[in-house]
Amino acid sequence: MMWSMTLYKRRIEPVDNNPTSGVPLRTQRPNSERAKPFRLVKYFSFSSLILIFLGTIILSMLNTHWIRSMQFSKSEAYALLLIDNLNHQVFTQVILPISLTFGKIELHQKEQFDRMDSVVRSTLHSFKVDTVNIYGTRDIIAYSFSRELLGMENLGGVSFQNALEGRSSSKLIQQGSFWELFFGVPKEIKIITFAPLRAEKPLSPVTGQVLGVVEIQQDLSGDYRGIFRFQVMTLLTVSGVMLILFLILIIVVKRGESIIQKRAQEQLRLKEQLSRAKHMSSLGEMVAGVSHEIRNPLGIISSSAELLRKKIAPDDPMIKIPSIIIEESSRLNNIITDFLNYAKPKTPNRFACRIEEVIDKNIRFLATQTESRGYRIHTYFDHGLPTIQADSDMLHQAFLNIFINAMQAMPEGGEIAVWAKKTNGSLWIAVEDNGCGISENLMEKIWDPFFTTKDKGTGLGLGIVKNIIVAHQGQIRIDNRPEGGARVSMRLPVKGEQ
């Protein structure tokens, strides 16, 4: 499989701490059953929030209704208090003096009317009263702030009759458009209170007879507008609080969904690793058995071809046939070896070793090929690299595959750079080339077993390299370089540092 390595900006970057970094995972949709409990909590939370918001609005409307009722009761009590005070002033300053002076009360006479008007206005001065009407016992308006109403009959209605019988009452009059009345902000709203006008008996708790009826009208438009503003402020405050809670809930829900999604993906990844491990175990057992059966006859074929080649004269044209048999037998043996190394990777036999010595051994081994084909390998090792506990033979095989792949990525020759340094208790190694790099559509497939872009090859080279690195508790990653070529970076833990 053709691939190449890259090193960004001539420095080694830490790789993903996930041991499976570089292994593409097939994206699968998480099982919806796992998210059901959280979905129930989410729907319950949103539903509860909506119900709380609706309940708060209803409570706000009821609260506004209670406030209006309290305002009505307060205004009615206020009007009755004014009427009681007016009753006293009218009886003592108007009815008694006029009765003694004129013998009877006739408010149509200017002198008597002016006296009544003066007493009423001085009594109600500075109080919030729009209109005062005083009825006689026959439902005729004898006095009013509005002279147009003087002498008008039958305007009192049921409220007048109740007051004439000694019972006070009040009613609310609202005027405005449909929407003004609907939202509780009518253009004009008044409370009209009817109460009996009685004769007073000094030093006696018993009230006197009813002499007439007093009607007082108060304008409550300003008070009700204030209540409406209070209602609007309450609703805006509640809406703002609910909006903040809603946004917080959305953030919490998104965070919860993200956590569940990550956990589901992690479970899928672990399941896939377990499935792959089981598959590789079965494959290893099968390959081991098949390889054993193949290698025995393969060895016989190879040795027989060697004997046959020795018995054929060097100038005989048939000398090529045994050579071909030997060459193909060797290639088949290498393929079988790759299968065994990938399917049943061996456990490292750890000893103290130095990574620079392993890499130098690879460079010396490949010296003939690199010199004849125009490759130059440069090493950049930090001073005082630590000793690591590792299997030098396995690491030699891994780096040999890496170097061979790097050279195959540059068929016309080129530069290969090897970097090694210690960072954060780990040994970082990178190998880079200046080849054509790895296309994006192949980047996710390079770790798949049996995938190769070469005409000849098993597609197990990278898998073997990865198995060796992971067996040493390390990590490996492949990236394309921005300046061209590719880079493979590896991390190996430092143990037994000297």
pLDDT per position as a tens digit, 250-299: 888 788 778 888 888 888 888 888 887 777 677 667 766 776 677 778 77
**pLDDT category of residue 22 using cuts at 50, 70 and 90:** very low
Q: Strand 131-135 vs strand 475-480: parallel, antiparallel, or unpaired?
A: unpaired
Count CB-CB contacts under 10 A for residue 142: 22
Q: What is the pLDDT of residue 19?
A: 41
Mean pLDDT over all residues of the chain? 79
- Lowest-confidence segment of 182-191, 280-289, 437-446, 483-492 by average pLDDT: 280-289
**pLDDT category of residue 458 using cuts at 50, 70 and 90:** low
- 352 beta partners: 389
Residues of the chain with pLDDT > 70, as a percent, come to: 82
Q: Could you give the CA distance from residue 91 to residue 99 in angstroms, rounded to a whole number?
A: 10
Torsion sign over Cα 12, 13, 19, 21 = negative
Higher-pLDDT residue of 382, 299: 382
- Lowest-confidence segment of 81-85, 106-110, 183-187, 259-263 by average pLDDT: 183-187
Q: Could you give the CA distance from residue 466 to residue 379 in angstroms, rounded to a whole number?
A: 22
Higher-pLDDT residue of 446, 143: 143
Please count the CA atoms within 13 angstroms of the CA of 11 that sit on its side-chain side.
4
CB 309 within 8 A of CB 320: no
Return the SS3 of 152.
Answer: coil
CB 194 within 8 A of CB 214: yes
**pLDDT category of residue 28 using cuts at 50, 70 and 90:** very low
Q: Quick check: 23 pLDDT over 50?
A: no
**pLDDT category of residue 155 using cuts at 50, 70 and 90:** confident
Count CB-CB contacts under 10 A for residue 463: 25
Higher-pLDDT residue of 347, 37: 347
Q: What is the pLDDT of residue 193?
A: 92
Higher-pLDDT residue of 416, 15: 416
Higher-pLDDT residue of 278, 36: 278
Which is nearest to 472 in space by CA: 392, 361, 378, 354?
392
Higher-pLDDT residue of 5, 342: 342
> In the predicted model, what is the mean pLDDT of residues 17-46?
54
Contact residues for 3 (Cβ-Cβ < 8 A; gap 6+): 405, 409, 438, 446, 462, 478, 486
Residues of the chain with pLDDT > 90, as a percent, come to: 5
Higher-pLDDT residue of 302, 451: 302
Q: Could you give the CA distance from residue 498 to residue 494 in angstroms, rounded to a whole number?
A: 10
Torsion sign over Cα 155, 161, 166, 168 = negative
> In the predicted model, what is the mean pLDDT of residues 140-148?
87
The answer for 486, left when phi > 0, alpha when psi is -120 to 50, beta otherwise, is beta
The domain segmentation of the chain, as residue ranges, is: 8-26+348-493, 33-219
Q: Could you give the CA distance from residue 415 to residue 486 in angstroms, rounded to a whole number?
A: 12
Q: Quick check: 194 pLDDT over 90?
A: yes
Can you read off the two tokens belonging to residue 15? 């790789």
Q: What is the pLDDT of residue 16?
A: 45
Which is nearest to 134 in space by CA: 48, 195, 73, 74?
195
The DSSP code for 25 is P
Q: What is the pLDDT of residue 11?
A: 39
CB 231 within 8 A of CB 225: no
- Lowest-confidence segment of 61-65, 108-112, 200-204, 362-366 by average pLDDT: 200-204
CATH class of 33-219: alpha beta
Q: What is the pLDDT of residue 283?
A: 66
Q: Could you give the CA distance from residue 2 to residue 98 in angstroms, rounded to a whole number?
A: 126
Q: How far is CA 285 from CA 126, 279, 457, in A?
A: 108, 10, 22
CB 485 within 8 A of CB 4: yes
**pLDDT category of residue 214 using cuts at 50, 70 and 90:** very high
Q: Could you give the CA distance from residue 259 to residue 192 in angstroms, rounded to a whole number?
A: 66
DSSP secondary structure string for all residues of 349-411 = --EEE-HHHHHHHHHHHTHHHHHHHTEEEEEEE-TTPPPEEE-HHHHHHHHHHHHHHHHHT-T
Which is nearest to 336 in space by CA: 328, 223, 487?
328
Q: What is the pLDDT of residue 457?
A: 58
CATH class of 8-26+348-493: alpha beta
Q: Could you give the CA distance from residue 402 to residue 460 in angstroms, rounded to a whole number?
A: 12
Higher-pLDDT residue of 464, 115: 115
DSSP secondary structure string for all residues of 299-328 = HHHHHHHHHHHHHS-TT-GGGHHHHHHHHH
Q: Could you give the CA distance from residue 174 to residue 124 in angstroms, rounded to a whole number?
A: 24
Q: How far is CA 27 from CA 30, 264, 303, 349, in A?
A: 9, 11, 50, 36
